[in-house]
Copies of this chain bind each other. A is one copy, B any other.
C-alpha cells in the first residue's frame, strides 16, 4: 500500500508538481480554479506530504526534543513534575505544529544518544527538563548551534534561555511563615544540590533563618518520599527539639509526614511541616499540606514560548514566575 506522492497528485490534477507543492503549502499565488482541482486530487488520493523529503530540502524538521536528564534512581519515582511539564509542553508545542520527541538522558550512554540525535539534524530545538550540574549536553548542543531552552535556570555554566520560578523567594516566605507562627527550631529537608531547584530552595531557607538570627539545620534528600522520610528520621534523632521543617518539595514533605506519624509526633501540634510545589497530592495528606505553589504549568508554557520566539523578538531571555504560599493545616 504505497502512499501517493506529489507526482501522483500532479498527474491527477493535470498540473505540475511545483503547483501542487504551492497549493499544499498554502501559497497564495495559485489560481482559484487550479487550486480547486489540486485540492480535489489531494482529497481523492488521500495525499499527505512525505516529511523526510520535505525536511531534506527545507532543512527544518518541525520537531523539538524534550530532554529529561534523570538518573535511573529517579526514573521510576512518580514525581508528577515530569508528567506535568512533559504534557503541558507537549500540548503547547503540538498546537504550534511542532512535534515532541521525548528523550531520556539519565546515563552517559543515553546522553551520547541524544547528542547524536540532535547532531543528526532530527530536531530544530531542544528543551531541557530537570538538569543536573554535571550534564554535558548543553555544552555539546551549544556547539552544534541548535537552539535550546531550559525548564528552570540551567545548572551548568552554559547560558541558556529559561523559564524559572522564584524558588529562593518561595522558600524564604515558607520559613518566614514558620517563624511568624512562633516556631523556634526550624529544620529543612533539602533537595539535590546538583540541581538549581535544590540549591535555590536551600538558599532561601538559609536567608530567612539567618535574617532571624537562627541557626540552620539541614538534612538532604533526593526529592523522593522515601528520602524525605529518612531525612526526617535523622532530624528527629539529631535534634529532638525540632518543631518545624521546610521540605524542598511536596514528595519529601509527604515522607516527612509519615516519619513524624510513626514517631508519634503530631502535625502541626508538635512539628509544623511546609512543602514546595503544591502538587495535587498536597491537598490529600493528613493534615492537608501547607506548601509553596510552583507554577509548573505556567513555567512549562513560558519555556515553550521562549523556544518558539525567534531570539530577536524575545523580550527577555529569562522569565521568572512568582511563587505563592498556600496555607493549609500542616503549618
Contact = CB atoms under 8 A, between A and B. Distances in A.
Contact of A110 (B82, B83, B94, B145): B94
A297 B78 CA distance: 12
Contacts of A113: 94
A279 B78 contact: yes
A92 to B, nearest CB: 10
A79 B90 contact: no
Interface in A155-195: none
Contacts of A281: 78, 225, 254, 281
A306 interface: no
A278 to B, nearest CB: 11
Interface stretch (A12-20, A114-122, A230-238): A114-122
Contact of A80 (B49, B51, B80, B297): B80
Contacts of A99: 101, 103, 117, 122
A120 B51 contact: yes
Contact of A297 (B76, B102, B279, B286): B76
B87 A254 contact: no
A30 interface: no
Contacts of A121: 3, 48, 50-52
A90 B61 CA distance: 21
A247 interface: no
A141 interface: no
Interface residues of A, number: 58
A66 interface: yes
B90 A102 contact: yes
Contacts of A117: 99
Interface string A72-105: 0001111110111011101100100001111110
Instruction: Tell which of A53, A225, A280, A286 has the most Cβ of chain B within 10 Å.
Output: A280
A119 B83 contact: no
B83 A104 contact: no
Nearest to A80: B78
Contacts of A257: 284
Nearest to A75: B87
A241 interface: no
A1 interface: yes
Nearest to A105: B94
Contacts of A212: none
A187 to B, nearest CB: 20
Contact of A83 (B61, B79, B286): B79
B61 A52 contact: yes
A328 interface: no
A156 to B, nearest CB: 21
A88 B97 CA distance: 26
Given A100-B102, A225-B280, A225-B281, 5 more contacts: A48-B119, A50-B120, A83-B86, A91-B110, A99-B103
20 contacts: A48-B120, A52-B52, A52-B121, A56-B56, A68-B87, A75-B87, A76-B84, A76-B87, A76-B88, A76-B297, A78-B280, A78-B281, A94-B104, A100-B102, A102-B102, A225-B280, A225-B281, A254-B284, A255-B284, A281-B281
